[in-house]
Structure 1
Amino acid sequence: MPTILEAEQRTRRRMDWLDALRGIAAVVVVFEHAFKFLLPEARLPVKAVFEPGWYGVTVFFLVSGYIVPASLERQGSVRAFWISRFLRLYPLFGVCVAGVALLMAAGWDGLHVWWGARPISMALGHLMMLQNLLYVPNLVNVLWTLSYEMAFYLLVTAMFSLGVHRRSTAGALGFAVVAVLGVGTLPVTLLSAGGSGRMLTVVLVVATLVAVGLTAVLRGSGVVRQAGAVVIGITVLGLLAVNQSYPGPGQGLLILATMFAGTALYRAERGEISWRQAGWVVLVPLAGIWSARGEFGFQMAIAAAWITFITGMTLRHRKAPRALTGLGLISYSIYLLHPLLLEGVERFWPEPLAVPLSRRLLALAGVMGLLFGLSTLTWRFVEVPAQRLGKRLISRKPPLKEAPAMRS
């Protein structure tokens, strides 16, 4: 009988291809942001034909869609799912906030003015990781994607609790259809725009609804549990429909469609649904390409991201390059920390075009080396201990028996 360690090692090998994709996505996003600080002359020519940042985050969203619902269903526990998600996201998020504090202490003046005028809204929006759906400016630019990750986690939780979590293809197509029909018509920040008092009210109401809904799902049973799931679902869907800021309602809804498409592909790979049924998700990238008409760089990024994911999935049984899987392990650290290092570069070279290209390329290599080293440290001393803590907490018996999800 295999030991727990052996089982974990086999699971890790099966997931190597996902780590490889994360590694690719993280590095591409770094280069996207490096253009501004080190290679501004290349920024517009490259982005005209290929949007590296959008490519990177699309790959990330496909990977999340593929693996995140699987972890919930494998454990069969909403409690265990949220313990693992919380300890996956928040410890490194805290490191990122600490990094911003260090930059501020060094004289960086990059905080949005609302941190002084609307501190409660700003802080609570970030603590929920729903800031992009609450019209709250991001503390660090890359944090916007976490809002869609959190929205996805909440929707997956609601669907699991209602017993409709296997309808991934329908979810993907539903979000895609609304995104296409809503381009140019769905309102932007309908609820939160209009003053600090209005924003604070919306943030507090959303925080209350999410807290009440999650409490009902985690602690309740039967009708109470289902009611909590409905509250979560309506709250998140409402924010997605009328209150998004960047990248806008159409693209934001397509992000959710992309995640659910990743889940549908997982289900087909596991034999839970037919490949014919999962094949309908090809409409999701087509919808994205259509919505980005006139923006060739975005269209190419969407197509390339899907091709990358499908290629990785096709080759999933082969051994992935160790360098890429290693980058994948530290990809979350790379993603959150690289803006802070690049902001540091700006303090020394506020006008990069005045610096010889050779020196800027050398600086880019130095930033990448420092980033990989720092990310390895944060993965080793922040992410890994947090994940181990999560496993210990999950292994403990919950205070109340969690009600099983309804069968689909």
Structure 2
Amino acid sequence: MHVATRPTPPPSPPAAPRASRALRQSWLDALRGVAALIVVFEHSLDPLLPEVRAAISPWFDFGQYGVLVFFLVSGYVVPISLERRGSVRGFWITRLFRLYPLWALAAAAGTVFAVAEVYTRLPAQAAERPWTALLAHLTMLQDLLQVPAVINVFWTLSYEMAFYLLVTAFFVTGVRRTGLGAALVFAVCAPIAGALLPAGLLTRNLGETTVICGVAVVLAFGFAAVLGKGRDLRRCGAAALGVLALVLLAANSRVGAWQSLAIMATMFGGTALRHLEHSSGERTKRAWALALVPVLLVATAVWLGPGWGMSEADQLAFKWSWSAALAGAWLTFAAGLALRNRAIPRAVAWLGLVSYSIYLLHPLVLQVVRRITWDPALLTLEERLSWLATLFAVVVALAALAYRYVERPAQELGRRLAARHGTAPQRDDPSARIPVPAGRG
């Protein structure tokens, strides 16, 4: 009698060595770390190196360059991270524990510094309407709600959050490989929206409190829906989150519609680069199409400019410095991608691990430095360079402590909670059937 036997499955491919995985991640860490230090350098120019500010800033914006590199890295990493995890709930648990603990610490310290007038004062809106300002900050969308941030660098988190909302909407609705298409759409729409929609349109017409409370309600509904049961309910919630992000970016950002959409185009450009790296077939056509994105964004910057009532000379300087920063960020990321298999010095890669702490905490250290030095004209160049070295040393040391005692424990807790709630793809979720490239996200 013939007995049917189960065919032996082919052996699984060996897992990638830990060193190989670390190598793939180290170039991204290096970009984060260098970008964070460049932002610190940008913010140190006024109190310590005004000569550099006067000579270089009209031609190149170091701060904008640094944050655009950050945005490209986020675009490259975040969508793939969600797809690999296969769970919106798990993704948001880990994101919240990644962002909010250190953010809360920095926000509390920034508020104390502002109330004590260490250097800056508490924004008028926060002093006059503290509860709406707090609610706007808790959403991390304050820059899209026309609310000045307690710490100036918080503005970039608003665009990170908007990007997460859009990525979540795409994921839940089953839209895949959106990087190139989304980047091109945002790049094309940036000049149109910038020409037609003034900054802060919603807040000026509906009122600050109405907009902030309305956004909070939509966020609460959207998250409750996408985390609920039933495909239709989740898609309804995803649509609410996606539309909310688009409306705020186009009609209520502090910097104006074209810059907000340019940031989104840059972030989805990072996603497109990740897809291009792991794609096969028509890579040349996709690469040329993707190269149009920074070209369109530079053209938009030259055409529209800041639109803030600047003098003609200041507008020209803005157009040039912003365009140079954008081009530099894209070229830097492309160079990092091309050299991704090269060994990265461990110290440089480590800076990437603590880059979030460097970015959020350096304004506090800088406030203290500005309070002590006060007027750079009263200091010699050697003294100012010494203060610059001290600034970097203190910021990096403080970031190392914050990462060790705030960031890392919070991230580990977030991963445990995500695992406890289950992060496997839902049975009716289209992502369960989508192959995802290997690599850390």
TM-score (norm 1): 0.93
**Is this contact kept in 1: 2:111–2:122, CA < 8 A?**
no
**Is this contact kept in 2: 1:268–1:274, CA < 8 A?**
no
CA RMSD in angstroms comes to: 2.2
Residue 81 of structure 1, CA deviation: 0.5
**Is this contact kept in 1: 2:190–2:257, CA < 8 A?**
yes
Give 1:250-269 correspondences, 5 Å limit.
Answer: 250-269=258-277
SS of match in other structure, 1:202? helix
Residue 24 of structure 1, CA deviation: 1.1
For 1:282, the equivalent position in structure 2 comes to 291
Percent of aligned pairs sharing the same letter: 45
**Is this contact kept in 1: 2:87–2:423, CA < 8 A?**
no
Q: Distance in 1 between matches of 2:251 and 2:89?
A: 30
**Is this contact kept in 1: 2:218–2:241, CA < 8 A?**
yes
Q: Distance in 2 between matches of 1:322 and 1:274?
A: 36
For 1:339, the equivalent position in structure 2 comes to 363
For 1:218, the equivalent position in structure 2 comes to 227
Residue 67 of structure 1, CA deviation: 0.2
For 2:59, the equivalent position in structure 1 comes to 49
Residue 213 of structure 1, CA deviation: 0.8
The yes-or-no answer on 1:130 pairing with 2:141 is yes
Q: Distance in 1 between matches of 2:43 and 2:359?
A: 11
For 2:9, the equivalent position in structure 1 comes to none
Among residues 14, 27, 39, which one is paired with 2:49 in the alignment? 39
**Is this contact kept in 1: 2:253–2:260, CA < 8 A?**
yes
Among residues 374, 381, 384, which one is paired with 1:360 in the alignment? 384
* Amino acid in the other structure paired with 1:169: L
**Is this contact kept in 2: 1:135–1:193, CA < 8 A?**
no
Question: Aligned residue pairs: how many?
Answer: 404
**Is this contact kept in 1: 2:87–2:424, CA < 8 A?**
no
For 1:370, the equivalent position in structure 2 comes to 394
Residue 350 of structure 1, CA deviation: 2.3
Q: Distance in 1 between matches of 2:340 and 2:282?
A: 19
SS of match in other structure, 1:111? coil
Structure of larger gyration radius: 2
Q: Distance in 1 between matches of 2:202 and 2:30?
A: 39
Residue 273 of structure 1, CA deviation: 7.3
Give 1:163-312 correspondences, 5 Å limit.
Answer: 163-193=174-204, 198-246=207-255, 248-271=256-279, 274-275=282-283, 276-293=285-302, 294=316, 295-312=319-336
Among residues 76, 94, 112, which one is paired with 1:84 in the alignment? 94
Distance 1:272 1:155, change over 3 A: farther
Instruction: Structure 1: give runs of 5+ residues left out of the alignment.
Output: none
Higher mean displacement: 180-189 or 374-383: 180-189
The yes-or-no answer on 1:144 pairing with 2:155 is yes
The yes-or-no answer on 1:386 pairing with 2:410 is yes
* Amino acid in the other structure paired with 2:127: G
Q: Distance in 2 between matches of 1:279 and 1:84?
A: 35
Distance 1:50 1:221, change over 3 A: same
Among residues 336, 346, 351, which one is paired with 1:327 in the alignment? 351
Give 1:48-127 correspondences, 5 Å limit.
Answer: 48-104=58-114, 106-108=116-118, 109-127=120-138
* Amino acid in the other structure paired with 2:278: R
* Amino acid in the other structure paired with 2:211: V
Distance 1:117 1:101, change over 3 A: closer
SS of match in other structure, 1:396? helix
Instruction: Structure 2: give runs of 5+ residues left out of the alignment.
Output: 1-11, 303-315, 435-441
**Is this contact kept in 1: 2:250–2:260, CA < 8 A?**
no
* Amino acid in the other structure paired with 1:254: A
Q: Distance in 1 between matches of 2:408 and 2:288?
A: 36
What are the Cα deviations for residues 200-258 of structure 1, in whole angstroms up to 9, with x where unaligned?
11111111111101111011321111111111111111111111112x21111010001
**Is this contact kept in 2: 1:219–1:402, CA < 8 A?**
no
SS of match in other structure, 1:191? helix
